[in-house]
Amino acid sequence: MNSQAIAVAAPRPNWMNEKLFLGMGARTYARSLVTPWNALAAVILAFGLPVLIYRFAAGLGATTNLSQIQPWGIWIGFDMMTGVVLAAGGFTLGSAVHLFGMHEYHPIVRPAILTAFIGYLLAVFGLLADLGKPWNMIMAIRYHGSASALFEIAWCVMCYTTVLTLEFLVPAFAWLGWRKAHDTLSKCMLGLTVLSVVFSTMHQSALGSLFLIAPAKLHPLWYSPYIFIFFFISAICAGISMVIAEGTLSHRLFQHRISGEHVDMDKLQIGLGKAGSIALFAYFFLKLQGVAEGRHWNLLFTGWGLWFLLEIVGFVLVPSLLYGYGARHGKIEFVRWGAVLAVAGIILNRLNVSVIAYNWNRPNHYVPTWMEITVSVTLITLGVVLFKWIANRMPIMSEDPRFAEAHDA
Amino acid sequence: MKISRRGFLQAAGVAGTALVALKAKPALAHEGSESLDTRGENENAMLVDTTLCAGCRACEGACAESNQLAPPPSDDAVYKTRRDTGPEQFTVVNQATEKGRDGEDRFAKRQCMHCIEPACASACPVRALDKQPSGPVIYRGDRCMGCRYCMVACPFEIPKYQYDKLAPLVRKCTFCASRQADGKKPACAQVCPTGALMFGKRSALLELAKMRVYRTPDKYIHHVYGEHEAGGTDWLYISDVPFEKLGLRKVRDEAYPDKVQGALSAPPFVMTLWPPLLMGLYAFSKRGRDQAANGHPHGPSVPPATTTPAIPPPATEDNRSSHE
């Protein structure tokens, strides 16, 4: 099974060295880990993991600023909401490549799917920390509150995490050298991609539907009967932007992992920028339509209105124009800055809906505790470390030539 | 091209039929918490006539005893602030910030309103909160995962959470569902010495409330709080001071679960229409690519550059079927 079987006669690279220590041997590998960024990650984890444990030892009351009127804090508003929306690159790019045949984007589809996989894992971890009785999560399988948007979300999380796991296993099997499993699963990519679009459509929009039931608690500029459509469209924007933003970073960081034919990253990003420009503009227009539909124009000139305008102009319209300009004139820097702004804008939107503009008319607004922030930062750090660990070992940045047959037709 | 389009329409037709079948499901789920057709007429209900309440807080004590909660503070100094229910106190009596028309103090008891169509129960993903046909909105802590979406959903902000516990529960008034099942009144109504709390069928109590309001229009405000609030609740209030002064918040008249129904009817559409649509797009894009890459092993005998891509050559049909 293992492809190394062929190379048995050679000086016998042991499995641990080869697969885990990047072929360096334990000691050299350990030494290679001492970098400033790793040190930072280690400090965050050393500090954050005990806080996470403390959450389960001492309860929600001791660790969070949640209250009887503010039942959801940043573990839902940031970890869950943002983790999921920034994972949208997985299905966006997956469908572009595997369904619509835009094969020029093939080199970046795996990083996007890996990001989605890790994003969902983090969202689930954030949820576990937030739930009062996380062990009862399985109850959603037995008892069906089908009138609940959260029920839809629970099922979508379960199903889509499974799909993402299977999609992720393709490069993982290549890494392990399990050709048969790899080939079988590769053949399913088309079906998995269809499922990923189905579940993502429902899941991304259902996260918005959650707030439909709280019309008096969410500020009218963010509350809309069409909030589920806003969430879905903005997820597509987030997916595209995340792929650009993260592509810039990871392409630089994992230069050594990119082999084979040269990928013109700039060209891909400009193509994505074109799509992002259209998607963001549509989203901007929809948000305006939401204001018009609710006849909330007068609210725009209040403090909350300015905050809303900052979100939809500064972080939606501006990146849309940056994308458009960059794509039209081939100026990659514009596209990259547009991506950073757009990602920030989507995070801001999710935080606005679930935390900041929620209970907007109440005194003593919720502010997270340092422990809540620490847990969120810890989870992100874990995600980055996990991404790096996987991308350094598995064929993520470029395909393993031994496994790179035309598996996705 | 022709065939594939017809195939696509057929697929859409099948999907449409499936959709009708699936649409029945949410409706059924809704019916589990029934009595909607009759708008809760036969549900057990409570009428609170705040003009009769003396503020003795006997109901608070009886509630605590019946639900094994800590006894409420005995000092009437509690009236100096407006209190909210809590995880260990299912009902509180508050003093109105305005005197009644007879110059006396007014009080109002707060607790779960037991909506006819409860937002909390509709929001619960595991139906830990559930509406009983007889009226009470009950809670099953053994299934609750602690997502606290009920607290987001409730327009009256009634569900309270035990944040300080390691296995926390949502806590709220149960309408003494177990006492009701035994044919008894809720504990609060049992002890109320003034008749301010009246337990009965909702239709009868609503009539009684309206009769009092109509017969003595200068004694009452012309409104039964709970008749339409949040689509109607099993707890009804009449008063001679504005309801907000009693700590009863303004709530929309619509049934809250309805606000989500539109969005929740999307999944069947997505599940049935997305896959055929996406596969169709895939097939088209693949065909286009095969045509573009003429010498491709998959696409045999497409004459190079004979026609524009918009009008495909006749060979296309075999071509399509050959790789599907």
For residue range B30-83, what is the model confidence (pLDDT) as tens digits? 444 444 445 788 999 999 999 999 999 999 999 999 999 999 998 888 999 999
What's the whole-number mean pLDDT along residues B174-199? 96
What's the whole-number mean pLDDT along residues A141-170? 93
Tell me which residue in B29, B87, B264 faces A152 most closely, judged by beta carbons.
B264
Q: Identify the band that residue B286 occupies on the pLDDT scale cut at 50, 70 and 90.
A: confident
In chain B, at which residue ranges do the beta strands (DSSP E only) sit? Answer: 44-49, 92-95, 107-110, 129-131, 137-139, 160-161, 170-171, 197-201, 235-238
- Residue B161 clears pLDDT 90, i.e. is over it: yes
Q: What is the pLDDT of residues A345-359, one digit of tens each?
A: 999 999 999 999 999
Asked if B270 and A201 come within 8 Å (Cβ–Cβ), the reply is: yes
pLDDT given for residue B2 in this prediction: 38
- Residue B137 clears pLDDT 80, i.e. is over it: yes
Best residue in A104, A146, A226 for a mutation probing chain B (most B CBs within 10 Å) = A146
The amino acid sitting at A172 is A
- Residue B295 clears pLDDT 80, i.e. is over it: no
Q: What is the pLDDT of residues A192-201, one digit of tens each?
A: 999 999 999 9
Asked if A357 and A222 count as a contact pair (C-beta separation under 8 A), the reply is yes
pLDDT given for residue A247 in this prediction: 82
What's the whole-number mean pLDDT along residues A243-251? 85
Contacts of B161 in chain A (CB under 8 A): 66, 68, 71, 132
**With a CB-CB cutoff of 8 Å, which residues 181-240 of chain B face chain A?**
none
Q: B72 phi and psi, to 5 degrees?
A: -70, 160
> Which residue on chain A is closest to B160 by alpha carbon?
A68
Tell me which residue in A71, A139, A215 faces B161 most closely, judged by beta carbons.
A71
pLDDT given for residue B128 in this prediction: 96
Task: Name the least confident of A299-308, A390-399, B202-211.
Answer: A390-399
Tell me which residue in B126, B168, B263 faces A132 most closely, judged by beta carbons.
B168
Percentage, residues of chain A above pLDDT 70:
94
Q: Identify the band that residue A398 occupies on the pLDDT scale cut at 50, 70 and 90.
A: confident
Residue with the bigger pLDDT between A339 and A106: it is A339
> Which residue on chain A is closest to B146 by alpha carbon?
A132
**With a CB-CB cutoff of 8 Å, which residues 264-283 of chain B face chain A?**
264, 266-267, 270-271, 274-275, 278-279, 281-282
pLDDT given for residue A166 in this prediction: 95
pLDDT given for residue A13 in this prediction: 64
Tell me which residue in A137, A140, A213 faces B153 most closely, judged by beta carbons.
A213
The whole-angstrom distance between B235's CA and the closest CA on chain A is: 21
- Write down the residue that tokens 């900041």 correspond to: A356
pLDDT given for residue B95 in this prediction: 95
Q: What is the pLDDT of residues A7-23, one digit of tens each?
A: 444 455 677 777 777 77
Mean pLDDT score across all residues of chain A:
89
Both structure tokens of A151: 């029920």
> Which residue on chain A is closest to B169 by alpha carbon?
A132
- Residue A159 clears pLDDT 80, i.e. is over it: yes
Residue with the bigger pLDDT between B40 and B87: it is B87
Task: Name the least confident of A217-231, B66-80, B275-289.
Answer: B275-289
Tell me which residue in A139, A153, A212 faces B145 most closely, judged by beta carbons.
A139
**With a CB-CB cutoff of 8 Å, which residues 155-174 of chain B face chain A?**
155, 157, 160-169
Instruction: State the ipTM, two decimals.
Output: 0.89
Both structure tokens of A138: 């399985």
CB pairs under 8 A between A and B: 183
Tell me which residue in A133, A151, A190 faces B282 most closely, judged by beta carbons.
A190
Q: Identify the band that residue B274 occupies on the pLDDT scale cut at 50, 70 and 90.
A: confident
**With a CB-CB cutoff of 8 Å, which residues 50-89 of chain B face chain A?**
84, 86-87
What CA–CA distances, in Å, run from A230 to A350, A353, B255?
11, 11, 24
Length of chain B: 324
Asked if B126 and A228 come within 8 Å (Cβ–Cβ), the reply is: no
Contacts of A228 in chain B (CB under 8 A): 263, 266
Q: What is the four-CA torsion angle of A119, A123, A125, A127, rounded to 10 degrees?
A: 180
pLDDT given for residue B39 in this prediction: 76
Q: Is the pTM of this model over 0.90?
A: no
- Residue B20 clears pLDDT 60, i.e. is over it: no
What's the whole-number mean pLDDT along residues A161-181? 93
Q: What is the four-CA torsion angle of B193, B196, B197, B199, rounded to 10 degrees?
A: 100
Tell me whether B253 touches chain A (CB under 8 Å): no
Percentage, residues of chain B above pLDDT 90:
65
**With a CB-CB cutoff of 8 Å, which residues 83-142 of chain B face chain A?**
84, 86-87, 119, 122-128, 142
Best residue in B158, B260, B281 for a mutation probing chain A (most A CBs within 10 Å) = B260
Task: Name the least confident of A368-382, B226-240, B264-278.
Answer: B264-278
Task: Name the least confident of A286-290, B105-109, B242-246, B270-274.
Answer: B270-274
pLDDT given for residue A327 in this prediction: 93
Percentage, residues of chain B above pLDDT 70:
79
Sign, CA dihedral A181-A182-A184-A189, equals positive
> Which residue on chain A is closest to B168 by alpha carbon?
A132
Asked if A68 and B143 come within 8 Å (Cβ–Cβ), the reply is: no
What's the whole-number mean pLDDT along residues B298-311? 44
pLDDT given for residue B294 in this prediction: 62
